[in-house]
Amino acid sequence: MKNPIRDMVTKRQLGIHCGTPSFCCANKLVIEAILEQAKRFDDTVLIEATSNQVNQSGGYTNMRPKDFRNFVYQIADKIEFSREKIVLGGDHLGPLPWMDLPASEAMANAIELVKLTVAAGYTKIHLDTSMKLGDDPVTGKLSNETIAERGAILYQACEEAFQERLKKHPNAMHPIFVIGSEVPVPGGAKEDHNKVKVTSPKDFEQTLLAYKKKFLQLGLQDAWNYIIAVVVQPGVEFGNDEICHYNRLNAIRLCECLKKYPDLVFEGHSTDYQSPSKLREMVEDGIAIIKVGPALTFALREALFSLSMMEKELITNELDRANFIEVLDLAMASNPKYWEKYYQGDEQYESLCRRYSFSDRNRYYMALPEVEASINKLFNNLNSVEIPLNMLRQYMPLQYIKVRDGKLICKARELAKDSVVMMVEDYNYAVKYNYMISGVFVR
> What's the distance, CA 42 to chain centroid?
21
- Per the DSSP assignment, residues forming a β-bridge with 125 are 90, 177
Q: What is the pLDDT of residue 168?
A: 96
Q: Span 47-71, mean pLDDT?
A: 97
Q: Are 80 and 28 in contact (CB under 8 A)?
A: no
pLDDT at 333: 97
pLDDT score recorded for residue 186? 57
- Distance, in Å, from the CA atom of 18 to the CA atom of 246, rounded to the nearest integer, reads 18
Q: What is the per-residue pLDDT across 261-289, written as a single tens digit (0 to 9) for each?
A: 999 999 999 999 999 999 999 999 999 99
**Domains of the chain, CATH where assigned:** 4-292 (3.20.20.70), 298-419 (1.10.400.20)
At 189 the pLDDT is: 52
- By DSSP bridging, strand 227-232 and strand 237-238 are unpaired
- Pairing state of beta strands 124-127 and 237-238? unpaired
Please say if the pLDDT value at position 435 is more than 90: no
The predicted model gives 311-326 an average pLDDT of 97
pLDDT at 281: 98
How high is the pLDDT of residue 433? Answer: 76
pLDDT at 182: 73
221 has pLDDT over 80: yes
| Mean pLDDT to the nearest integer, 359-368 | 96
Amino acid 1: pLDDT: 66
Q: Is the pLDDT of residue 441 over 50?
A: no
Lowest mean pLDDT among 174-188, 228-242, 422-436: 174-188
**Which of the 8 DSSP states describes residue 441?**
-
Q: Give the C-alpha separation, 15 to 433, whole Å.
A: 13
Stretch 47-55: mean pLDDT: 97
The CA distances from residue 362 to 33, 90, 156, 182, in Å, are 19, 22, 36, 25
pLDDT tens for residues 171-196? 999 999 999 987 655 555 554 555 79
Query: Are 105 and 23 spatial neighbours (Cβ–Cβ below 8 Å)?
Result: no
Average pLDDT for the chain: 94
Out of 32-41, 187-196, 365-374, pick the least confident: 187-196
Taking phi first (over 0 means left), then psi (-120 to 50 degrees means alpha), and beta for anything else, what does residue 292 get? beta
The pLDDT value given to residue 31: 98
- What DSSP designation does 290 have? E
> Considering only CA atoms, which of 342, 384, 183, 372 is closest in space to residue 270?
183
Confidence band of 427 (pLDDT split at 50, 70, 90): very high
Coil, helix or strand at residue 336: helix
pLDDT at 443: 44
**DSSP-derived 3-state class of residue 54:** strand
Neighbour tally for 220: CB within 10 Å: 17
Q: What is the pLDDT at residue 437?
A: 47
Average pLDDT over residues 54-63: 97
Q: Report d(CA 229, CA 6) in Å as an integer.
A: 10
Contact 237, 196 (CB under 8 A): yes
Q: What digits encode the pLDDT tens for the residues 106-155?
A: 999 999 999 999 999 999 999 999 999 999 999 988 999 999 999 999 99
**Predicted confidence (pLDDT) at residue 236 exceeds the cutoff of 60:** yes
**Where does the pLDDT of residue 436 fall: very low under 50, low under 70, confident under 90, or very high at 90 and above?**
very low
